Amino acid sequence: MIELENLSKRYGDVTAVDALDLRVERGELVVLLGGSGCGKTTTLKMINRLVEPSAGTVRIDGEDTRTLPAPQLRRRIGYAFQQIGLFPHLDVSENVAITPRLLGWPEDRVRERVDALLRLVELEPAAMRNRWPTELSGGQQQRVGLARALAAEPEVVLLDEPFGAVDPITRDRLQRWFRAVRHELGLTSVFVTHDMAEALLLGDRIAVLDAGRLLQVGRPEELLLRPAHEKVAELMATPRRQAEAVDALLGRTEPS
Amino acid sequence: MSEQLALLPGYLTAHLQLSLPALVIAALISIPLGILVTRRRGLEPGVVGTASVIQTIPSLALLAIMVPVLAALGTVTEAAFGIPLRGIGFAPAFVALTLYGLLPILRNTVTGVEGVDPALVEAARGVGMTPREQLRRVELPLAMPVIVAGLRTAGVWVIGTATLSTPVGATSLGNFIFSGLQTRNFDAVLVGCVAAALLALTLDQLIRALESGIRERRRGRVRLAGGALAALLLFTGASFFDDGGAGDRRPVTIGSKAFTEQYVLSEILAQQIAARTGLPTEAVQSLGSTVAFEALRNGDLDLYVDYSGTIWATLMERSDLPETRGAVLEAVKGFLGDAHGITVVGALGFENTYALGMRADRARERGIARISDLSRHAPALEIGGDYEFFQRTEWRALADRYGLPFRHQRTMDPALMYQAVAEGEVDVISAYSTDGRIAAYDLVLLEDDQGVIPPYDAIVLARPGLARERPEVLAALRPLVGAIDAGAMQRMNLAVDGAGEAPGAVAQRFLAALKTNPSPAGEPPTPGR
């Protein structure tokens, strides 16, 4: 369970995140949705203190995150980066093994865990283990990045547009895969995206942010049916508009 | 050539002793310093700026500056810890080379660490690394190729610059180059240059292979390059402890400036001392002129040969001239003893003075024998002088007294000067009176009939305290006083410059002749000519 209470981040005169309150239940996936600059990534980074809050509190399972040194806190929280951020001087197995090794796991346990994770992200351990990140396709890199985030068996996972950099077909496969995996592992997750379809597909609940403020939190159908804000309504209308446009296109090109 | 190659192991070892530790220390200083700069950005202008300023000092000047700096430091360390630092030799060269190696490594460390993709640094934080772990596991490995490139640049610079440490008294491959240029032994120059270049290339390639081997995880390459580098370091380290079994007796250290006559004379002194006293001797050759005097004064050198006129003009700053050669000698002795505590062991018997020289046939044609005869011919003639001649008081005195309005003055390298006058490119040169090339090129020296040029008696100088601590050394040198006349010195110089003999061999022959026919002998046989 993650609780954000009155959480704010200011850079000089600019308020990036403004007094945010949010609660993510155990096993739940909440999507932070909004356009660029709305404060969603900053909010995510405040949860594992990659960004230190200017004010407010983050609690994980009731425990204030400031009670732990930041590196130790981060080792307990999986993090998937938008730019993936695989270390180019380490091979696939070493990239996945980083956090377990920082935690001082015994080597056999690390090795077993790496193979199990590679299988989980649908990569063949024997073929992939010793490949360099530069030898992988974009989709494979994303999978390794997710395996690295899950390596130390975290209960909380933070994902920052993890499927942003791959082609639509790969993205679709990865999204469906992730939906299954996170239920299987019972992960408590916060997922940042600006993609409405992705939010609707993956989120148990969606938190819509705009200019650092939380506009509305709710299940996808709540947001679709009862938008609390004009901007939420506008945002929710986009997938339907796109679908209608596609339908119209198909109708026009079908032989009559 | 084989004579030069025989010197190679010694010079190469000395070169490694200077350059490898300097490179290692430079890296040990500048890599942590570079990392610190990337953590505290405010330090960057100061730190990198200082290193850059050091780099802009010409390397030869940096080496020369270290001599008085270390001599001064030496008195401090001796007072504080009882460890004297020597102002000449290894210490100044080592410090200068270390300073010279700092900048490339420092700059590349800063550039390399700062060049790491910020997304990767954030990823390192995100997976839970502490700042130290980020540095060790991510930033340094990713910056390593750039840091190693800096290390390689520094390595090439340090090995190249180490050849310039000869004039401050540190043995290196530069000894081949400096003495070779002076004695016109181009085999020696070649051996020195090629060896230094090969050493630089080898080190560069070994470091490159080690870095790429580590990065690409080629175990064989890492083993090979790492093994070779480790062997080189071990060999260098071990060579410091191999003193040739000289025991704790410090060898008698004999200096020489950088020209042929000085090499021959330092060999004569060294061999005479070794033969008479059995003490070990050490030659420190090709010293800068002022470096030699400074080193003798502060005790880094025990002995060297200087010239009375040089001391009269440059140290005593006198421009007047006493009546006789003896009066100058006495004045110089008094001055050196009173002002510096230096003992003049004695005059060797010849002068090596600046003199005006011409081709013998041209001088005869024009009826020129004395400098006075030259003045009316001067407007039609051209004069060549070495780098300092036209700035020296001797030249001003000559021009004032005789009135020598030459058509043209040309400054040139001494080695080219003799050839130029022999080939008629110039008409008159500033010759050195004992130079072997005077006879070789059939030149005559014009008589200084008005007595303008001070006498340049070759005198053996001993450091303060040597007469008290090692009287046997001074006693051993006594037979040499007055034993070398100008003709003998000229022939010995010619044997080296013209016939390509080694200064040591020429010295040996001279001493053998001196033994069978003691003072005033000084007429070494010159076989083969």
Express each pLDDT in A149-167 by its tens digit. Answer: 999 999 999 999 998 878 8
pLDDT(B319) > 60: yes
Closest CA to B415 of B448, B386, B457: B386
Chain A residue with minimum CA distance to B132:
A71
- Give the sign of the dihedral formed by CA B389, CA B394, CA B397, CA B401: negative
Strand runs (DSSP E) across B320-394, as ranges?
343-351, 354-359, 382-385
Per-residue pLDDT for B308 more than 70?
A: yes
State whether residue B129 sits within 8 Å of chain A by CB.
yes
Number of CB pairs, chain A paired with chain B, less than 8 A apart:
55
B126 and A85 in contact by Cβ < 8 A? yes
R_g (Cα) of chain A, nearest Å? 19
Per-residue confidence at B458, pLDDT binned at 50, 70, 90? Answer: very high
Question: Using CA atoms, how far apart are residues B106 and B38, in angstroms rounded to an integer?
Answer: 11
If one counts every other C-beta atom within 10 angstroms of the C-beta of residue A18, the result is: 17
How far apart CA B87 and CA B208 sit, in angstroms, is 35
Q: Which long-range contacts (CB under 8 A, 24 or more apart) does A33-36 make?
A: A33/A193, A33/A194, A33/A196, A33/A199, A33/A203, A33/A206, A33/A207, A33/A208, A33/A209, A33/A235, A34/A194, A34/A208, A34/A209, A34/A210, A35/A194, A35/A210, A36/A194
Q: How far apart are CA B40 and CA B63, in angstroms?
A: 32
Residues A37-48: what's their mean pLDDT?
Answer: 93
pLDDT at B518: 64
**A190 contacts A32 by C-beta, under 8 angstroms:** yes
Q: What is the mean pLDDT of chain B?
A: 87
Q: Please, are residues A57 and A81 in contact by the beta-carbon 8 Å criterion? A: no
The H or E element that residue B480 is part of is: none
Between A70, A72, A74, which is nearest B127 by CB? A74
Considering only residues 92 to 121 of chain B, which have any Cβ-Cβ distance to chain A shorter than 8 Å?
Answer: 119-120
Partner B contacted by A81 (CB < 8 A): yes
CB B494 within 8 A of CB B436: yes
The sheet with strand A14-24 has its strands ordered as: A14-24, A2-11, A55-60, A63-64
Closest CB to B128: pick one of A83, A85, A99.
A99
Distance CA B310, CA A84 (A): 75
Cα torsion B44, B45, B51, B53 to 10°: value is 170
Contact with chain A for residue B124, Cβ under 8 A: yes
Restricting to B residues 199-218, those with a Cβ less than 8 Å away from any Cβ of A are 215
Residues of chain A above pLDDT 70, percent? 98
- Please state, in angstroms and as integers, the Cα–Cα distance from residue A6 to each residue in A56, A57, A212, B75, B192, following that order: 5, 7, 12, 67, 75
Of these ranges, B2-16, B420-434, B511-525, the one predicted with the greatest mean pLDDT is B420-434
What sign has the CA pseudo-torsion A86, A91, A93, A97?
Answer: negative
Query: Inter-chain contact B120–A81, Cβ cutoff 8 Å?
Result: no
C-alpha span between B157 and B155 (Å, rounded): 5
Cβ(B522)–Cβ(B510) below 8 Å: yes
Sheet holding A188-193, edge to edge: A77-80, A156-160, A188-193, A29-33, A205-210, A213-218
Contact B120 A85 (CB under 8 A): yes
C-beta atoms surrounding A176 within 10 Å: 12
Give A63's strand partners. Answer: A60
pTM of the full structure: 0.76
Chain position carrying tokens 């050669």: B325
Nearest to A83 among B119, B130, B142 (CB): B119
Using DSSP's 3-state secondary structure scheme, residue A85 falls into coil
- Percent of residues, chain B, with pLDDT higher than 90: 50
A4, containing H or E segment? strand A2-11
Neighbours of B307 (CB within 10 A): 21
Residues 6+ apart with CB under 8 A from B215: A89, B144, B145
Model confidence at B525: pLDDT above 50: no
Task: List the single best residue of A89, A94, A101, A110 to mutate versus B (max B Cβ within 10 A).
Answer: A89
Residue B186: other Cβ atoms inside 10 A? 11
Smallest Cβ–Cβ distance between B127 and the set A70, A72, A99 belongs to A99
Q: Which of B23-27, B343-347, B500-504 has the lowest mean pLDDT?
A: B500-504
Q: CB–CB of B119 and A85 under 8 A?
A: yes
Average pLDDT of the residues of chain A: 91
C-alpha B525/C-alpha B509 separation (Å) is: 8
Q: B14 burial class (0-12, 13-18, 19+ CB within 10 angstroms)?
A: buried
Model confidence at B521: pLDDT above 80: no
Please write the tens of the pLDDT for every residue from B79-105. 777 776 777 778 889 999 999 999 999
Retrieve residue B232's tokens. 């080189």
Here the ipTM equals 0.91
CA angle A10, A15, A21 (to 5 degrees): 90
